[in-house]
Structure 1
Amino acid sequence: MPLFRLGDHGSAVAEIRAILAGQGFLTDAPLPTGRLVDPNGWALPEAVFDVATDQAVRAFQQQRGLLVDGVVGPATFGALRESSYRLGARVLCYLTSAPMHGDDVATLQSRLQNLGFYTGLVDGHFDVDTHNALRNYQGDYGLNPDGICGPATLRSLKQLGTRVTGGSPHAIREEEHVRRRGPQLSGKRIVIDPGSGGDHPDADPAESAIEAEILWDLSDRLVGRMTAAGMETFVSRREDENPTDEERAGTANAIGADLLIALRCAHYPNSRASGVASFHYGTTHGSSSTIGRSLSGFIQREIVARTDLRDCRSHERTWEILRRSQMPAVQLDIGYISNLHDATQLSDPAVRDTIAEAILVAVKRLYLLGRDDQPTGTYTFAELLASEQVAR
């Protein structure tokens, strides 16, 4: 889809403004009248992407865990559409050809989770797990177990309180899975997802080519170290491919990976922006990946301790690569390719070696669960290999 930003106008901009107004981000905004152009050919105010709309879009992006750039691209437009749905406004069901997404689905998932039927992430995607949870609820409460959330199911849900409090079933399941897998890295299935470069508006082709080369090389170094430690490693794409984030997550899901680590470079129009940041799944619905958060924090601290890249910390986001992955996932922005210092650092093979080692050590720390751990930045690749050899 096209990108919409400050200065644009048209029917899509009118829809964007209407949703933002409905969400309370755009106050005193006239709603579309059906006639978006006056007799003189000028776009009416409700169809113009003005400064107020730009600010409202940025506030919406901030709240929803999206990239805050004021540009309405596929991710932001999809999130706007999803935010406009309220539970009860439409019948919900599992459709394999056109899956349903929206805040109404997230509300349904949250209700089913509180009642003890749904144990997945509250992500607003009506998938097969949501379908099965809804059928189980309907069967237990004397409803037709058809997996369709219509008027009868909605009335039933409104009449019930919560049965489960004081913890997320999904978080408990994630943590138990890590505990059962044990502290050794041998046999762990990891998908590495190197970015393809140029995945942002107004990307410079030369800069994108350098970025793609850096990320592919870092992926190779990380795969080599993980394989040496006995891990089963997979790369999400071929070097000449550029799949969507949804497709990358689908590859990891098909493999049945234990973890997904996405490698990216950051960009910003102001070249002074610099540093490394890590991201895990988390929403305004209160749903997040606890293991993703832990791994994100470990990676962030290990890289900062071993390099002179600025610490931009770890954050919750709803990006598709994190949202669609069925296993704990982390996206790592290893530095700003638009910043001279970061770009110079990332172009150094020794720095990429250090980053790869830091990521591997962070994964090891995740599975150690605090047992026999070492201070951040001190555990070496040689020591890690030696511990793995002894365990075997």
Structure 2
Amino acid sequence: MRAIKRGERGPAVTEIRSILVALGLLQIPADPAEADDFTVVVERAVRAFQQDRGLSVDGEVGAETWRALDAARWTLGARTLYFSVSDPLRGDDVRQLQERLLEMGYDVGRTDGVYGPRTARGLSAFQREMGLPPDGTCGPQTLQVLRRLGRKVVGGSPLKLREEVTIRQTGPSLVGRQIIVDPGHGGSDPGVVVPDGPLRWTESDLAYDLATRLEGRLAAAGMRVHLTRGPLPIEAPSDLDRAQLANDLAADLLISLHIDGHQNPDADGVATYHYGTSNGVTSTMGERLAGLVQREIVARTGLRNCHTHAKTWELLRYTRMPAVRVDVGYLTSPKDRAQLIDPMFRERVVEAIVAAVQRMYYPVEIDVKTGTIDVSALRLALPS
């Protein structure tokens, strides 16, 4: 869907306003004529919603923001929750159920707001222990028992432990592991575009160049690498499609490559994002990978450190493996652009990411200092 933004009117705006009112982010307009008007006040409410939900804060209702608004309609108990193979239920009520089960020690995977098979199995296990029919359906009876019970665990500790154990059990070698490398944008969406004399630099082209370089390095280290798109100007997959590809391939990691842009040419630096919510639920291993990637890139390139951040972007939320998005510099910054268009600089970025991927699998006792792994060899060896 195209983005709905300030100045537009119509039924879609009325629907957006009604959800924002229900969430307490917007007042009912005093003038009924404003009910379908996307005003400055509505834009501020949308920005507040996006900020709270860990989305990109632009004040516009694009496809991802709309899906988040639609999910926010639901609270736990407003409808019966069940597992549907063809069209899984999505919503804040599903996320609330997942968080509740996770806090009680049941394995529902990531709290992504999607009622998938893992959530159904977790609920069935809870029902079985409570003497309820283990049908994986959250109706009035199951909800009543859930509300009676107190929390056994606070926060996302059970998920953290499961993720850490999974990583440790697989060992430090990269050989045979499967990784998804995702060059952002593509097709009719070039991302950030900056004219530079007779040249025209685009985010999609530079991200694809980084992705192919990274593909070669990781393949040489023994990993099985898949790109989410090719270089041809065909329609690029959506973030949902990219996440689904990673899940279908049962990948071990996903790394998404982007280049940022801003109206302020002084904005510069690298930032890395992982899945996380405003209430502290996070992908522990995604957060660890983000930190490693961020520190290695800063150490090896000298880009300004814009740190790591938790986001609920669909690419990070719906993937079932540690996933990060790296925004490698600002194409709109003359300083960053001068480096990004240099192939040797892009090689250093790739070396940093390869080093981070290797360190991801090192046990703490044999990890090495940032910027010290030599990735020039075709196959990475354990540190002595």
Instruction: Check 1:271–1:55 CA distance in 2 against 1; reply closer, same or farther (3 A cut).
Output: same
Matched to 1:137, the amino acid is: F
Say which SS state the counterpart of residue 62 (structure 1) adopts.
helix
User: After superposition, what is the alpha-carbon deviation per residue over 1:155-192, rounded to whole angstroms, capped at 9, x for unaligned?
Assistant: 11111222344752221111111111112222222111
CA contact (8 A) 1:197 1:209 kept: no
Matched to 1:110, the amino acid is: E
CA contact (8 A) 1:191 1:235 kept: yes
State how far apart, in whole Å, the 2-side matches of 1:62 and 1:89 are. 25
CA contact (8 A) 1:120 1:169 kept: no
1:52 to 37, 41, 57: 41
Correspondence for 2:371: 377
User: After superposition, what is the alpha-carbon deviation per residue over 1:215-252, rounded to whole angstroms, capped at 9, x for unaligned?
Assistant: 11111111111122222222223333511111111111
CA contact (8 A) 1:361 1:384 kept: no
State how far apart, in whole Å, the 1-side matches of 2:72 and 2:200 are. 32
1:1-392 counterparts in 2 under 5 A?
A: 1-26=1-26, 28-30=27-29, 44-165=33-154, 168-197=157-186, 204=193, 210-240=202-232, 241=234, 242-382=236-376, 385=379, 387=381
Gaps of 5+ in 1: 37-43
State how far apart, in whole Å, the 2-side matches of 1:156 and 1:79 are. 28
CA contact (8 A) 2:7 2:37 kept: yes
Instruction: Check 1:100–1:66 CA distance in 2 against 1; reply closer, same or farther (3 A cut).
Output: same
State how far apart, in whole Å, the 2-side matches of 1:187 and 1:202 are. 33
Instruction: Check 1:122–1:386 CA distance in 2 against 1; reply closer, same or farther (3 A cut).
Output: closer
Question: Normalising by structure 2, what TM-score?
Answer: 0.91
Deviation at 1:338, TM superposition (A): 2.7
Instruction: Check 1:52–1:245 CA distance in 2 against 1; reply closer, same or farther (3 A cut).
Output: same
Instruction: Check 1:170–1:155 CA distance in 2 against 1; reply closer, same or farther (3 A cut).
Output: same
Question: Normalising by structure 1, what TM-score?
Answer: 0.89
Deviation at 1:315, TM superposition (A): 0.3
Instruction: Check 1:306–1:143 CA distance in 2 against 1; reply closer, same or farther (3 A cut).
Output: same
State how far apart, in whole Å, the 1-side matches of 2:289 and 2:217 are. 18
Equivalent residue pairs, number: 379
State how far apart, in whole Å, the 2-side matches of 1:309 and 1:297 are. 15
Say which SS state the counterpart of residue 215 (structure 2) adopts.
helix
Deviation at 1:125, TM superposition (A): 0.8
* Percent of aligned pairs sharing the same letter: 45
User: After superposition, what is the alpha-carbon deviation per residue over 1:22-63, rounded to whole angstroms, capped at 9, x for unaligned?
Assistant: 22222x33399xxx6xxxxxxx11221111111111111111
State how far apart, in whole Å, the 2-side matches of 1:268 and 1:254 are. 35
User: After superposition, what is the alpha-carbon deviation per residue over 1:122-159, rounded to whole angstroms, capped at 9, x for unaligned?
Assistant: 11111111111112222222222222211111111111
Say which SS state the counterpart of residue 271 (structure 2) adopts.
strand
CA RMSD of aligned residues (A): 2.5
Gaps of 5+ in 2: none
Matched to 2:307, the amino acid is: R
Correspondence for 1:41: none
